[in-house]
Amino acid sequence: MKQLKLTGFLFFFFLTESLTLPTKPQDVDDVSITQKFIEDNIGYITIIAFAQYIQEASFEEVEMLVKAMTEYRDKCLADMTLPECSKLANDVLLENICTMEGLPQKHNFSHCCHKADFERKHCFLHNKKADVGFLPPLPTLDPEEKCQTYKNNRESLLNNYIYEVSRRNPYVFAPTLLTAAARFEEMTKTCCEEQEKANCFRTKAETFIQYLKALSSYQKNVCGALMKFGPQILKSINIAVLSQKFPKIEFKELISLLEDVSSKYDGCCEGDVVQCIHGRSKVVSHICSKQDSISSKIKECCEKKIPERGECIIYSNKDDRPNNLPLREAKFTESENVCEERDADQENFMAEFLYQYSRRHPELSTPELLRIAGVYEDLLRECCNTKNPPDCYRHAENKFNETTEKSFKIVQRECEHFQILGKDDLKYHYLINLTKLAPQLSTEELTFLGKEMVTALTTCCTLSEEFACVDNLVDLVLGELCGINENRSINPAVDHCCKTNFAFRRSCFEGLEADKTYVSPSTSQGLFTFHTDLCQAHNEELQRKKDRFLVDLVKLKPELTGVELQSLLVDFTNVVKKCCQAQGPEACFKEEVLPALFPLKSNWYFWSNKRN
């Protein structure tokens, strides 16, 4: 496989990347360059697709498919008139997966192979598993060993890296994973030249991991919106994002750009890696071909060669609001003919309202802009059925302000919690609350969601743009909770918030209480059995174990209050400290843990759990 020729990423929400391609002058046909990139990197692209579709597959099985797809590429490059060369790349990939001897039966996807075309692709998409707890821990190499492997067999190291990351991130878009691989190689090159290799890898890996996590959250959130609510909500999200980024873009031009952006997500969200790559390239090319009418901030970016254009656009500032843009668009609140215009083309009318409101309010979050659009739509539905509609909708701005004020108060309250509780206690607060709301989720999912809530607040609560930052990031956490699959079910209350209204799911979750349908397990089922490895855990690992312990405790005793649960967590911490200083830590754990956790319960509870 040739060297991976990809750098940079582009985000349109707060984080999302664009495929950047092999270095060529700007005027070369972008489509042919993209196609050449795909041909050169067919091995990496195959690994991503296979590892995301069939996460249980071994690396050896993936290598077999890479060989088959490389042969297919070579055959078609030699003679494009062959019948099989007219097929879509993703269809060829799935056909090859299905014809691998014994593989469909071994990994339980035979039912997908019995389907065809869209139904087959859709089946493979639903075969993906967001909770990857069934996979073994991510393999880690000693820094010296990693550097030696890179020196002796660079391709093997990169292939393994892409395979392991892809199977653990089944919904991350292919260009993101290719960018991650390029960054991993850059990190490896740099750190292998350092004397303190371990420290270098540790320092650089943290930023790298955050990059991948942020993009993964964003992509799952947007794809989840598309799958649960359809293309209209995706269109609304993109209108809000692009109108804020490029406030001088004309509405007609925005609608044209949206066609490319929407088709990009069709491929990326369905797991069609080749269509996703083509779509990403097309969006960047569209922006740069119309740069004068889109943004004054990207002229220099679009004069750069293709690999540099995307990253340059990322770091370009939001364009300045046009000087002649009034604070309000009278057409939507002061015109006598609002109802007639709405009725003539409701979809286009509402799209233009969102465009006009978003370009005037760069300080608002994307979810808030969608809420405002929802409030306006509901208001018109009501007003246009009255005797005097203009009198009714003339006060729309008051409704918008009320909606934003409610959202501001939620964020303000969350940031006050952060200031009062501090990072650790805030995390425990969210771990307890999230577990009570959705105890059906795995312990891994709940600990992840709790940490992400804290990350959102610690990142945003000291910034001048606090509201938009918090609201955007918390919405991503809710997207993680709700999941990408439209058939995902947690419990009736959570499902209602996830599936009823995308824009208002935040306020829906605010009103939720502990799940009343949940039945806790009758015994601890070994959850509170600890071994000597607990004493050997470093600070970070010990903290993870404490977080898991707290979540498991809430699942077992959901009726306990937050104060009682945190008190038991303190008791557990003290027991760990005591037992790890004892001569026989494991025996100490058996004698001390359950009595410390349930001091008010009868001896029956203690002994019944010991027998289990």
- Compute the distance between CA of residue 103 and CA of residue 54 in angstroms, rounded to an integer: 10
Q: How many CB atoms lie within 10 A of CB 151?
A: 11
Structure tokens at 137: 């821990």
Where is the binding site, in residues? 272
Could you tell me if residue 69 is left (phi over 0), alpha (psi between -120 and 50 degrees) or otherwise beta?
alpha
Where is the binding site for Ca(2+), in residues? 272
DSSP 124-138: HHHH--S--TTSPPP
- Compute the distance between CA of residue 120 and CA of residue 114 in angstroms, rounded to an integer: 8
Helix axes of 42-53 and 154-168: crossing angle, nearest 10 degrees: 30
List the one residue out of 332, 336, 333 whose CA is nearest residue 351: 332
Length of the chain: 612
Helix axes of 366-383 and 346-360: crossing angle, nearest 10 degrees: 130
List the one residue out of 65, 15, 75 whose CA is nearest residue 44: 65
Judge whether 504 and 585 are in contact, CB under 8 Å.
Answer: no
List the one residue out of 289, 275, 339, 290 whose CA is nearest residue 91: 275
Q: Is 179 exposed, middle or buried (0-12, 13-18, 19+ CB in 10 A)?
A: buried
Strand (E) or helix (H) holding 535: helix 533-536
Judge whether 428 and 569 are in contact, CB under 8 Å.
Answer: yes
- Compute the distance between CA of residue 7 and CA of residue 312 in angstroms, rounded to an integer: 11
Judge whether 375 and 403 are in contact, CB under 8 Å.
Answer: yes
Task: Provide the residue type at 142 as one letter.
Answer: D
- Compute the distance between CA of residue 273 and CA of residue 512 in angstroms, rounded to an integer: 38
- Compute the distance between CA of residue 281 and CA of residue 276 in angstroms, rounded to an integer: 9
CA distances from 240 to 253, 359, 413, 493 (A): 14, 8, 25, 29
- Compute the distance between CA of residue 580 and CA of residue 586 in angstroms, rounded to an integer: 9
Where is the binding site for Zn(2+), in residues? 272
List the one residue out of 609, 538, 552, 548 whose CA is nearest residue 580: 538
What spatial distance separates the first Cα and last Cα of the chain, rounded to whole Å?
53
Strand (E) or helix (H) holding 356: helix 346-360
Let me know how many helices (H) and strands (E) the chain has, helices first.
31, 0
List the one residue out of 6, 4, 3 whose CA is nearest residue 280: 6
List the one residue out of 537, 523, 526, 493 whose CA is nearest residue 511: 493
Structure tokens at 101: 């001897």
Q: Which residue has the tokens 């604070």?
A: 327
Helix axes of 562-580 and 585-597: crossing angle, nearest 10 degrees: 160
